[in-house]
Amino acid sequence: MLRSSLPRCTAQGVFPKAVRMIAKLFVASSNPGKLAEFLALANPAAPQPESLHLELLPNFSSLPVFDETAPTFAENAAGKALHYSQFAEGRILADDSGLVVPALGGAPGVRSARYAGENATSEERNAKLLHEMRNLTGDQRRAHFVCVLAVAQKNRAVAIISARADGEILSAPRGSAGFGYDPIFYVPELKKAFAELTPEEKNSRSHRGKAFRRLLSAQIL
């Protein structure tokens, strides 16, 4: 970690208050939305280092693409972090996540984003899943989201952390917030779908929120 008097993260990656130590972490993505999501998860209430500087990996779109075709979330996340760690001096954060329905043999699983085809919309993926589950009832509708976060530096794995969020699949979409499978993923304890939660509620419950907080509390950054 580098000794610094810089402030913590803004929208470009700095938290409000001056601190002495800053750990830099590059997110293996070119998507500002993904960076914003991690910044929202790295809130002052979460266990974290004295400071954490998050930013997108520079020139990500021009780098050789990592093919996420492994059969598990952990292999995809670790492989992605290791691959992109060859192109940066600092540590790389990569993730793989998806929805698992045990009654469907684990589908959509690692193919969650491609479940209805490479260019399918979230609505099309949800519709396919609801169709596949049309005859399932009770415990057969149980599901969980999985997130695996991997950190690597110079082609060496530093950490691999996973978390899950448990729920069940509704028979029809509900809510207008969130993205992906959120409208059909129901949390019985809250009596709400993920798409009906506020951002704060979802961050406290989500698989990605849990995994990121575990990463921060692991004190490896």
Per residue in 13-71, pLDDT (tens digit) is 433 343 344 578 999 998 887 888 888 887 654 444 456 788 999 999 999 999 989 99
For helices 207-217 and 32-41, the axis angle rounded to 10 degrees is 60
Q: Catalytic residue among 67, 95, 96, 182, which?
A: 96
Scanning the structure block, which residue is given the tokens 């990996």?
57
Cis previous bond, 32, omega within 30: no
21-27 and 91-100 beta bridge pairing: parallel
- Is 206 exposed, middle or buried, given 0-12, 13-18 or 19+ CB atoms closer than 10 A? buried
Quick one: tokens of 72? 């598990």
Look at the chain and report how many structural domains it folds into: 1
What is the reported pLDDT for 135? Answer: 97
Q: Are the CB atoms for 156 and 99 separated by under 8 Å?
A: no
Q: Give the angle 23-26-27 at the CA atoms, nearest 5°.
A: 130
Summary mean pLDDT of the chain: 86
Q: Can you tell me the mean pLDDT for 108-135? A: 96
Rounded CA separation 123/176 (Å) = 12
Examine the residue annotation and report whether 139 is marked as an active-site residue of this protein.
no
User: CB within 8 A of 69, min separation 6: which ones?
Assistant: 76
**Domain range for 186:** 2-217
What is the reported pLDDT for 14? Answer: 38
- We report the CATH number of the domain holding residue 81 as 3.90.950.10
What is the reported pLDDT for 33? Answer: 79
